[in-house]
Amino acid sequence: MIGDYFNSLAEMLAANSRSASSSAHRPDTGSNREQLLINLLNKHLPDRLEAVSGGTVVNLAGELSRQIDVIVKNDLFPKFNQHERTIVICESVAGVLSVKSWLDKAALEESIANVGSIPSFFRDTLSLSNSSILRDNLQQEFTQNWPFRAIFAYDGIDPDTIYRHALACCKSHAGSPRQLPDMIIVNKKLCIRFLRGGGTLQDGTKLPANWLHPLKLTEATYGYPIAGMISELNNYVPWMHYMKFNFAPYVDKAYALHSREVTSEKAV
């Protein structure tokens, strides 16, 4: 039943994407397809996460990401919703997605650069602890696995060629594997997963760390990538229990150049 459900979602995305491509305003096609994916995610993500139309991600040092199509945010940190496409602080990001109508080599390389450009947070603003004890292994494990990064395309060139291009891109980023996408999806055609910690196939085959595993989709597995995205993002939620966030450094840094020393007195 679950498989049939997610398979139907893949079919729905494909049908709605064809409708979006008939938009009278061609520049609207990309944003329409982004919104299709946003709507789907928000109907399936845990309540503590929300997918929004993307923007730029920034950290305390002022480092900026490239333009991101879809950002999945947690509910712990301040919102900046006054403008439609705005800046998002990196501590609030659970996942990022690059959305493409057509995936080829150029689009793949651009998407990998986009999702890999998320700046890192600082302990001044976000720390992870168990009880009151800061655990380095907890912090390190979190930063090695989050945010979730994915590329979602509604169509593309043949799966074998996409996989070869993806493999070449991964090898070129061997020194910074954390910047690589966790999933590359071409709806109803292909799902590629980057297994940082290795994995085990259904037949028991063990895969080593940093393995790029492709799955050509059939009618019976169309929905597997969508279910996989939801599952991966759901795995973020337990981490929120350990998060301690401090927004004050952002405020202090933003206004440090404009502050002046003034005389103050004891109030009581």
Report the amino acid identity of residue 168: A
Positive or negative: CA dihedral 161, 167, 171, 177: positive
Q: Could you read off the pLDDT of 75-84 as tens digits, one per residue?
A: 988 888 776 6
Model confidence pLDDT, tens digit, residues 180-226: 999 999 999 999 999 887 878 777 888 888 889 999 999 999 999 99
In the chain, beta strands by DSSP E: 49-53, 56-58, 70-74, 87-89, 93-100, 126-130, 133-134, 148-153, 183-186, 190-195, 199-200, 206-207, 211-216, 243-245
Q: Token pair 């609207």 is at which residue?
A: 28
For 45, residues 6+ apart whose C-beta sits below 8 A from its C-beta are: 51, 72, 230, 233, 234
Q: What is the pLDDT of residues 106-138, one digit of tens each?
A: 999 999 999 999 999 998 899 888 765 556 688
The whole-number pLDDT of residue 247 equals 93
Residue 65: name the closest of 30, 93, 100 by CA: 93
Q: What is the pLDDT of residues 7-47, one digit of tens each?
A: 999 999 999 998 766 555 455 555 789 999 999 999 999 99
Spatial separation of the C-alpha atoms in residues 125 and 108, rounded to whole Å: 32
Indicate the average pLDDT of the chain: 88
Instruction: Give the pLDDT confidence score for residue 28 in this predicted structure.
Output: 54
pLDDT given at position 95: 97
CA 87 to chain centre: 15
Mean pLDDT (whole number) for 64-68? 95
Chain centre to alpha carbon of residue 57: 11
Specify the pTM: 0.90
Q: Indicate the domain borders of the chain.
A: 2-254
Mean local confidence (pLDDT), 97-107: 97
Residue 257 in this model has a pLDDT that exceeds 90: no
